[in-house]
């Protein structure tokens, strides 16, 4: 079997946003734009692939490039892995441009880089009826209010303060009119944590707590996990190797360690299957602060060359190790 080492992964999907940034490469597709820098990831990976191809006969091994769709929906990595993209691969590497990290800086951690990211739905069911006769109904709005409030006790009273958990209910929909008791309320939320065991327990407790409260108030609660991503965890050995390669290109002062981020990334599944490293590439533009997943997202294009140089050096270091 050919020894492929490493695999370089670049995601390529956009987001359903109308681009407002005044740039010459503004999206030509209405309602769709690159608001998270995946075009940067693709450009860097393609340049690295082209450069390595020009010297292929001098390389001590093969390099596989994976151009992944559907990262934003957290559904692209698993099918690629199941289809055999990692066969013959012993290590993996990827990057993410970060608009809040200065150009010329690289963040590499030897452990957790990003949190798990789970999206869930809770459907609260009661019994609808006239607002003038609430005793003949089971008010789903009242039940939902209790559930939303109680869920925060999973963070404040069931989780150690040293183990960060973010639990957000971001959408509440229910009812049809002000004088009708709602028979159903749908809650949508997200759970983020850096520990996989804590993640699993918290998801179970969301289900248990919602169902327990609903039953105590004569209603029902149904929990559904809509999408899931485990934490992004680097291999210490590979992270150290990549860090040294980056320092060799940019200097020791350019390599930093940001705190773990509570955003999610399904490169986590590549790292679950193989040792590897996922690092952040500084791309903060000049001027006002720019945030990922917004219509005015942009980066400082100088990061493209830096990302190419660091990724190339890291791949060569992995091939030589």
Do residues 133 and 202 both lie within one domain?
yes
Do residues 155 and 207 both lie within one domain?
yes
Q: Computed over its alpha carbons, how large is the radius of gyration of the chain?
A: 23
Separation between Cα atoms, residue 164 and residue 70, nearest integer Å: 27
pLDDT band at 73 (very low <50, low <70, confident <90, very high): confident
> 3-class DSSP state for residue 302?
helix
Alpha helix ranges (H) inside the chain: 38-53, 77-82, 140-151, 153-156, 196-216, 236-250, 268-273, 302-320
* Domain final residue pick, 210, 227, 244: 227
Do residues 70 and 127 both lie within one domain?
no
* Domain final residue pick, 227, 250, 283: 227
Residue bearing tokens 């820098």:
37
Q: Which residues contact 181 (CB under 8 A, 6 or more apart)?
A: 126, 127, 128, 129, 130, 131, 134, 137, 139, 140, 141
pLDDT in tens, 246-305: 999 999 999 999 999 999 999 999 999 999 999 999 999 999 999 999 999 999 999 999
Separation between Cα atoms, residue 172 and residue 293, nearest integer Å: 22
Residue bearing tokens 């992004």:
232
pLDDT band at 126 (very low <50, low <70, confident <90, very high): very high
CATH number at residue 129: 3.30.70.360
Do residues 124 and 75 both lie within one domain?
no
Structural domain boundaries enclosing 195: 118-227
Separation between Cα atoms, residue 170 and residue 311, nearest integer Å: 37
Do 199 and 114 meet the contact criterion of CB atoms below 8 Å apart?
no
Q: Which of 71, 139, 228, 300 is catalytic?
A: 71
User: Taking all residues of the chain, what is their mean pLDDT, rounded to a whole number?
Assistant: 97
Is the preceding omega at residue 24 within 30 degrees of 0, hence cis?
no
The larger pLDDT score, comparing residue 302 to residue 3, is at 302
Do residues 245 and 271 both lie within one domain?
yes
pLDDT in tens, 181-211: 999 999 999 999 999 999 999 999 999 999 9
Residues facing 166 on adjacent strands:
192
Do residues 88 and 127 both lie within one domain?
no
300 is catalytic: no
* Domain final residue pick, 194, 227, 260: 227
Q: State the average pLDDT over residues 201-223.
A: 99
pTM (two decimals): 0.94
Do residues 129 and 277 both lie within one domain?
no
Give the number of domains in the chain: 2
Do residues 129 and 107 both lie within one domain?
no
Do residues 176 and 261 both lie within one domain?
no
226 is catalytic: no
Closest to 256 (Cα-Cα) out of 102, 149, 150, 64: 102
CATH number at residue 282: 3.40.630.10
Percent of the chain with pLDDT over 90: 96
Strand 62-68, strand 4-11: pairing = parallel
- Is it the case that residue 146 has pLDDT exceeding 80? yes
Do residues 97 and 16 both lie within one domain?
yes
Residue bearing tokens 């029902």:
220
Do residues 241 and 105 both lie within one domain?
yes
H/E element holding 186?
A: strand 184-193
Do residues 240 and 98 both lie within one domain?
yes
């Amino acid at each position: 079997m050919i020894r492929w080492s490493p695999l370089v992964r670049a995601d390529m999907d956009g987001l359903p946003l109308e681009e407002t940034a005044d740039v010459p490469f503004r999206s030509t597709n209405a309602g769709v734009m690159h608001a998270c820098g995946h075009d940067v990831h693709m450009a860097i990976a393609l340049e690295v692939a082209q450069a390595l191809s020009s010297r292929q006969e001098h390389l001590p091994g093969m390099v596989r490039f994976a151009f992944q769709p559907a990262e934003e929906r957290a559904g692209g990595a698993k099918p690629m892995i199941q289809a055999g993209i990692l066969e013959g691969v012993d290590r993996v590497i990827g990057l993410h441009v970060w608009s809040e990290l200065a150009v010329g800086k690289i963040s590499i951690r030897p452990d957790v880089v990003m949190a798990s990211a789970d999206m869930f739905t809770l459907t609260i069911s009661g019994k609808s009826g006239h607002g003038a006769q609430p005793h003949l109904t089971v008010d789903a709005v009242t039940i939902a209010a209790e559930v939303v409030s109680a869920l925060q006790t999973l963070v404040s009273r069931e989780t150690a303060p040293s183990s960060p958990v973010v639990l957000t209910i971001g959408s509440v929909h229910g009812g049809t009119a002000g004088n009708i008791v709602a028979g159903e309320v749908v809650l949508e939320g997200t759970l983020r944590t850096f520990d996989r065991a804590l993640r699993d327990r918290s998801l179970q407790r969301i289900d248990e707590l919602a169902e327990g409260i609903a039953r105590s108030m004569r209603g029902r609660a149904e929990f559904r996990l809509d999408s899931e991503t485990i934490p992004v965890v680097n291999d210490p050995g590979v992270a150290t190797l990549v860090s040294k390669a980056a320092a060799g290109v940019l200097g020791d002062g350019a390599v930093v360690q940001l705190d773990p981020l509570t955003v999610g990334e399904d490169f986590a599944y590549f790292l679950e299957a193989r040792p590897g490293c996922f690092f952040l590439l500084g791309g903060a533009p000049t001027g006002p602060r720019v945030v990922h997943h917004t219509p005015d997202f942009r980066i400082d294009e100088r990061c493209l060359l830096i990302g190419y140089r660091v990724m190339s050096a890291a791949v060569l270091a992995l091939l030589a190790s």
